[in-house]
Amino acid sequence: MSQQMSADRARIRQARIAVSLVFATHGAASGSFVTRIPWIQDQLGLGTAALGIALAFPAIGAATAMPLASRVMHRHGARAAVRGLLALFTVAFALVALAPSLPVLCALLFLSGATGGMADVAMNAQGVEVEERHGRSIMSGLHGLWSVGTLLGSALGVGAVWLGLDARIHLPLVALALTLAVPFLSRGLLDVRPTAGEVAPPRFALPPRSALLIGAVGICAVLAEGASMDWSGVYLRDVTGASETVAAASYTAFACTMALARLAGDAVVRRLGPVRTVRISASLAATGGLLVVTAAVSAQAVLGFALIGVGVAVVVPLTFAAAGHSGPNPSRAIAGVATVTYTAGLFAPSVIGALGELASLRASFGLVTAALTLLLLGAGVLGQRPAREVAASDAGSAARALPAP
């Protein structure tokens, strides 16, 4: 028995390393693409409006395809699903550089978003499974490693730009390296498969009821995240009169604090639990929102955006974890929450911009601050677990037999 327990622990450690590398790989592909957006805009001669339309297609593709991920996992198993979908994404994002026109660019961005979104669902479902068997919170750290991956990918992209490397060479080279690495990196994933007689999930379905309230919490966080990412620089420049350099620093402060908070978030969740963690985080984020709304000087606004970054960092990872524990089909629940939150992320920048046009950007971030207050009030849904799961946990579910590698 002791040898079996040691083997199980080693298997879980191996799975945790593997899923961590998968998150970082997904992030590296995303970060690599972002650095070449200006090149794509210049290559196709796109104006700001046309580029904005094109950049909506990854989110549209993700929201459309995410419900399919649970069916792929049911049919092929969790490990094969993560491996296949991640490999498809690492190929698809590079094809964007080859687009000869705006319609083709939109189609390729849709494909990239669809494959990336399904891979996102599959790897989060794997993360929830590993977390459950590990018996400790790991989801925040996994999302932190995704952020680290984006930073590494973007750093390589900056180097490629500095060297004058054509994106049609840079992105395929990155894609080739990542795609070849996927089978090796994913070897340690858990090969979770459906139980005998389990009905396959529908191809397309509304999110299960268990995921709706959790998704609403995710929407509040995604609204604040999207608004801060896309509008912080404009806010600093137009509202507080900051220079372009300081305006750019506002996003840097936001991104860095978010990445650091995610990497440290698991230790906080283990100590305080998800509900208290989100309530404290939401309080920090709402305080940051108030600082932004009332900012008369740039430094106050930069601090406010940094606090928003800290405050929302762990929320989306915890919503995925809560979704995975909320019903009998974790992958479908995660897909539902991801679809809801990604759709909200699609519209968030437009909502902020429209309200800013009708009223002011201060009013827009007043809306963000209100959403963060709702996040504080709704944090309790992340701690609700079904009775069957509590009973299973009390019976020692952590000792379940692990699937064969």
The pLDDT tens digits for 147-159 are: 888 888 888 888 8
Q: Spell out the residues 6+ positions from residue 92 whose beta carbon is closer than 8 angstroms to its own.
A: 108, 111, 112, 114, 115, 116
Which of 342, 345, 269 lies closest to 121, judged by CA? 342
Q: How far apart are CA 49 and CA 71, in angstroms?
A: 36
What is the band of 214 on the pLDDT scale with cuts at 50, 70, 90? confident
Per residue in 291-309, pLDDT (tens digit) is 999 999 999 998 999 899 8
Q: How far apart are CA 310 and CA 305, in angstroms?
A: 9
Q: Which residue's entry shows tokens 């698991």?
A: 266
Please report the pLDDT score of residue 103 as a whole number.
95
Q: How far apart are CA 314 and CA 225, in angstroms?
A: 11
Q: How far apart are CA 186 and CA 188, in angstroms?
A: 6
What is the band of 405 on the pLDDT scale with cuts at 50, 70, 90? very low
Please report the pLDDT score of residue 387 as a whole number.
39
**What's the start-to-end Cα distance of the chain, in Å?**
19
Q: How far apart are CA 137 and CA 269, in angstroms?
A: 7
Q: How far apart are CA 275 and CA 280, in angstroms?
A: 9
Per residue in 159-172, pLDDT (tens digit) is 888 888 999 999 99
Q: How far apart are CA 363 and CA 361, in angstroms?
A: 5
Q: How far apart are CA 240 and CA 26, in angstroms?
A: 36
Average pLDDT over residues 312-321: 90
Percentage of residues in the chain having pLDDT higher than 70: 87
Q: Spell out the residues 6+ positions from residue 168 whose beta carbon is closer than 8 angstroms to its own.
A: 97, 98
Q: Dihedral of CA 316/216/208/111: which sign?
A: negative
For residues 261 and 270, the answer to whether their CB atoms sit within 8 Å is no
User: Is the pLDDT score of 257 beyond 80?
Assistant: yes
Decide: pTM greater than 0.85.
no
For residues 45 and 94, the answer to whether their CB atoms sit within 8 Å is no
What is the band of 95 on the pLDDT scale with cuts at 50, 70, 90? very high
What is the band of 232 on the pLDDT scale with cuts at 50, 70, 90? confident
Q: How far apart are CA 47 and CA 41, in angstroms?
A: 7
User: Is the pLDDT score of 271 beyond 50?
Assistant: yes
Average pLDDT over residues 268-279: 92
Per residue in 9-55, pLDDT (tens digit) is 888 899 999 999 999 999 999 888 888 888 888 899 988 678 878 88
